[in-house]
Each structure stands twice: as structure tokens, then as C-alpha cells.
A and B are shown apart, each in its own frame.
Chain A
Amino acid sequence: MAQARLARREHITGWAFIAPALILLGLFMIYPIVWSLWMSFQVGKGMNLSFGGFANIVRLTKDPVFLRALGNTFTFFIFQVPIMIVLALLFAVALNDATLKFRGFFRTAIFLPCATSLIAYSTVFKSMFAIDGVVNQTLMALHIIGGPISWLGDPFWAKVLIIMAITWRWTGYNMIFYLAALQNIDRSIYEAARIDGVPAWARFWYITIPMLKPVILFTTVISTIGTLQLFDEVANLTAGTGGPSDSTLTLSLYIYNLTFKFMPSFGYSATVSWVIVVLVGILSFLQFLVARDRKPS
């Protein structure tokens, strides 16, 4: 009896301790998520909302701007994530070599971009990639291109620029994960492979890559989520337009425009937000599926 009372008091104390965190999480995280799901079934402009059932989902399929943004987002995802993951892996392996000089400097230099101010780097990128910017001038001086590239005016090159910008910013971030994982691999495994006559490329391909698989999966999922939510770079480099002519418009930027720039359409923008959620879920599931351990049959 007394014990039951004690257990009850302990329960109350325990809940009291976590209550502030739970209330804050519920208020600012769970409630908005549930509310946005409810919102995604609302139609109408501004505050004039009414329940529309699946009307927003039907609208998605007929909205050329949405389809454009979806296509762009996928383009960014398909090209940028693999390029960045491979680059980060190569940098990590190179910088893990104990004989390399100035290792600390290179590690810091490659990691630094993800810690710099977004606005500052976007501004620098904009000036570097202007028609008369340093990049065009250098490429022309080296006779790689005949005339200046309109980085921000040409739909193709604008996409390339966005991909370069995100890659520059996030490669170092992913590299740190690989470096940490590499340092956990027992050195004698590589020594054993050397004595066994396993060539360097095979040590990388058959030993390093499989042993980094969990980390590669993690960074791929994280990068996928990041790219599907891509907003900052596009908003800053294209002055929020996703231009030229929507060629760099992403889902997130479209959501922002639907909510805050056009006549507010909260319900529809909530629907687009849930498209991202569903995509992240599907892609992450696929990545886990690809990376799972296959049992030899």
C-alpha cells in the first residue's frame, strides 16, 4: 500500500520533470505538424478557408509550377547528392593519410564553408559568378570558354551554379563524418591487406567503402533530406525568384512563395510541404533497402 503510494509519487515527480520539455515540444512541434496536415485539406485564399477534401492533391497534378519545382528538386537531388558524397569520401580518405602535410589546415579549410554565413557566401558567389565576375574572366583567360557564361541568366548554368554552391557548402560537413569513421577502423586491417598483396584501389573499394557503409547511408539520408528541403541557396542567389523562368525553383521556395509572396494559399502550401515529407520517407526507405545486408543464400 505504502509502496504503491511511493511509486505513484515517483511517477508524478518524473512526469513533472519532463513536462516543460513535453509541453514546448507539443506546442511548437507536434501541434504545427498535426495542424499542417489538417491545413493541407483546406482550400481558399488568405483567411477565407474551407474544407476541400482531396482538392489540393488534385490541384498538385495540374499545377505546372509545382511540377516544375518537383522536377528541379529532383534534378538537384540526383546530381548533387552523389557528387557531394563521392567528393567527401575522397577528401576524407586523402586527409586521413598520416603522411600528408598540412592535414589540419586542409581539414579546416574544407569544413569551414558549412560554418560560414549563408548570406556572406551567397553574396560572394553572386559576384564571382557575375557576367564579368572572376570565374568567367579566369575561364576566358584560360581559353576554356569563348564568351562569358550567364551563370544566373541561363536555366542550365543556373542549376549548375546552385549545385556547385551546395556542394561547396556541405562537402566538408559530410567529410567530417567519414573522417571520424575512418579513424575507428583498425589500422592493422589495412596492414594485413598490404601484406596480402591487395592493391590500393581494392583496399578502398573492398575494405574502406564496406566498412563505411553505415556512415555513407547516414550522410546520404541526411543529404537527401537537405536537398529536398533546398531553399537558402536558391532564395539568395536568385533573389527569391527561383529564376530564370522558374528553372531553379525548388519545392521549399515554392511553398514560401505560395504562403508569403503570392496571395496566401495556406492550405495548398501545406499540401506541398507534405509532398516533401512523403518524398523524404520514400527515398530514405529506398536507401535503407539498397544498403541492407544481403544474406548469402
Chain B
Amino acid sequence: MSGLKLRNVKKSFGSVHVIKGVDLDIEDKQFVVFVGPSGCGKSTLLRMIAGLEQISSGDLFIGDKRMNDVDPAQRGIAMVFQSYALYPHMTVRENMGFALRFAGAPKEEIATRVAEAARILELGALLDRKPGQLSGGQRQRVAIGRAIVRHPDVFLFDEPLSNLDAELRVHMRIEIARLHKELNTTIIYVTHDQVEAMTLADKIVVLRDGVIEQAGSPLDLYDDPDNLFVAGFIGSPKMNLLAGTAEAGGIRLADFPEQLVPSPVAVPAGTAVTVGIRPEHFDPTGSAALETTVEIIEHLGGETYAYARGAGSSLLTLATDNNRTLKTGERYQARFNPASLLVFGQDGKRLR
């Protein structure tokens, strides 16, 4: 049993409050991703769980034990750093076995565990090299191997893929997902890349300014965001957000004043709202429509995105059901189903 519980956890550096009260439950064997823009406190929260930063107030439980004042080495965790943090003067084998020497493991056991980690990560051929002779992806695998050999209850990853190029990042992302299946342990993973969060997580925790904006499964967050921030942060390409005002028969969009869009939720007339619609919710069979002119077309092969605007409106991102015949400058009727709209109040909260 190695779930985690955070209860009203706070962190301040002097008068600067970085984490402003976080409550979170992480179940055993769950893959949890902390995601948010830079400076949101996600790395700090991870380092507090690791024990590298003191917790200013609140409680942290790993399993059933309160861990606030426990030494990092005794928390049953292992961490993979963004910079890999490999010992540059040691070989891959020594890097992975180093911690075990101080845990009092006999030589044969160290060798067995290192060999096991090397097998899982396909590092066998590199065991006698030094980090300086490895590529970025290989170094990252060694860093993960160094974590694996300790058989921790919880793995912590601090932006592990940020230093890799795009292609390698996709590859390592799949590796990490596979690793989670194979090791079957709790993983807490920090990233600013929402694609990584969507693809890896069992549970995403979206953070902003030291507060959890929303936590839930990737599709929950995608389909049912609690607020504007989560709606705008999760999803690529981004959700279209349009200002509007509620009227008796629906919502009048500021950018398309000739249209009255039926609202999926009851909103008192006169309320200022923001309407969100995802690019793929534009659907040629939809009952409502916005009149637009296409400005830019992106052919991705499997999908064609059009960037279009109405007279004087901001640019909308539209999925076109892979309409490859579309040309720039053309008029385009962006049809959609009003039921797929998300409506947010002035304070950014979702109106349900």
C-alpha cells in the first residue's frame, strides 16, 4: 500500500507563498501527472513530496505514515531529475548501483538488480560507459534505471523529457508508459506539456499559482473542465473561447452579434459569459452556424484545421472533418451542435 495523501499542504519562501493549500489523494499504483504553466508550483510540490523542500504547513502521508519530517532516503521514493543528475565520473553500472552500496546490499544483489534494470531499460550494452559518452535519451534511461534499482514504492519524475528533442520525447513517453505497466508502482510526474499529461496520466492535477485548479482523469478534464483555465490549458489545438452575453433565447457572441446561439445551460439574461468550443466540435451536421472566412489552412493528413474569423472576430480554430478541398479566402460556415458548448461565468467558473 503506497498511496499518498496531501492535506492542506502549504509552502512559503519567506513572504512568498508558492503552494497555497493543496489537498490531494493519490491511489496506489496510480500514474498522476502534475501539469501547469511554469511557476505554478508543480515542481515545488514534487520536491516537497520527495523531501527536498520542507513543508511549511499541512500533512503529507505516504502509505499511512506521516512523512513531513522523514529523511528523503527513508520515504520509499526515487526521483528522476530534469537534468538527469547522473554522477559524471561513474560508469552507468556504478551510477545505478551507487545507492545500493549505502543501503548495505551485498555485491551479488547489487549486480542482480543493476542487471534487471539494465534489461528493463535495454541498457545492457552501455553499462561500462560514462554519462558523457551517452546521448540524451540514453542518459534519461540511466536516470530511470538508477531509480528502478532501489525498488521504490513511489517514482517521482521532474520534467524528465524536457531536455530531449521532439521525436525522442514521444519515444520516451511510450517507454515510461510501458514502464509503469511493467513496474506497477505509483508514479508522480511533473510536466508543463499537456500532451504528456493527457497521454500518460491516470489522473491529471492541473495547478496554477500554487492551487489545484482541477484534478481528474484526462478525459474528464478534457470533456468537463471546471473552469476557463483548465479548459484553455488542456487540449491541443486549444479550445476556442468567445466572449458573449446571455439573452432570453440564448447567448449573443460579441464577435458574431447577428447570431443568437442556443445555450446548453440556463443563464440569467444579461450575464456576461465566455463560451468555449473545441475545434473538433465544429461539425458540418451541427444545427448552429458561424459565418467565417478562412485565413490559414493546416493539412495534417489525418485532419485539416482551418483558422478562420467572422467580420471583426478573433481567429477561430476549426477542425473541418478533414476537408482537403478548402481554400484560404473562402467563406466557411462553421457549423456546430450547441449542446457541445461550454459556458463559463465572469469569474472563470463553469456554469453547469
Contact = CB atoms under 8 A, between A and B. Distances in A.
Interface of A: 186, 188-189, 191-199, 202, 206-207, 210-211, 213, 296
Given A188-B81, A191-B81, A206-B98, A196 B89 contact: no
B102 interface: yes
Contacts of A210: 89
A186 B83 contact: yes
A296 B128 contact: yes
Contacts of B218: none
Contacts of A192: 79, 81, 85, 146
B52 A194 contact: yes
A207 B83 contact: no
Contacts of A206: 87, 98
A195 B89 contact: no
A195 B77 contact: yes
Interface string B81-106: 11101111101000000110011000
B150 interface: yes
Contacts of A195: 50-52, 72-73, 77-79
Question: Interface size bucket, B side?
Answer: 20 to 34
A191 B50 CA distance: 10
Contacts of A197: 73-74, 99, 102-103
Interface string B13-52: 0000000000000000000000000000000000000111
Judged by DSSP, the binding face of A is: helix
A170 B350 CA distance: 68
6 contacts: A192-B79, A196-B73, A197-B103, A198-B99, A206-B98, A207-B87
A130 to B, nearest CB: 48
Contact of A191 (B52, B87, B103): B52
B114 to A, nearest CB: 14
Contact of B98 (A188, A194, A196, A213): A196
A194 B70 CA distance: 12
Given A195-B73, A211-B89, 15 more contacts: A186-B85, A189-B85, A189-B87, A191-B50, A192-B81, A192-B85, A192-B146, A195-B50, A196-B73, A196-B102, A197-B102, A198-B102, A206-B98, A210-B89, A211-B88
B83 A188 contact: yes
- Give the interface centre of B78, B98, B146 by most chain A CB atoms within 10 Å: B98
B52 A196 contact: no
Nearest to B74: A197
Nearest to A199: B102
B90 to A, nearest CB: 8
B128 A194 contact: no
Nearest to A293: B89
Interface in B213-245: none
Contact of B91 (A189, A193, A198, A296): A296
A187 to B, nearest CB: 9
- Which one of A186, A188, A189, A197 has the highest number of Cβ atoms from chain B below 10 Å of its Cβ? A197
B78 A198 contact: no
B152 to A, nearest CB: 9
Nearest to A211: B89
A33 B52 CA distance: 57
Q: Which of A186, A192, A206, A213 is the most central at the interface, judged by chain B CB atoms within 10 Å of its CB?
A: A192
Contacts of B85: 186, 188-189, 191-192
Given A186-B83, A210-B89, A198 B128 contact: no
Contacts of B52: 191, 194-195
B102 to A, nearest CB: 5
B70 to A, nearest CB: 12
Contacts of A188: 81-83, 85
B146 A196 contact: yes
A198 B73 CA distance: 8
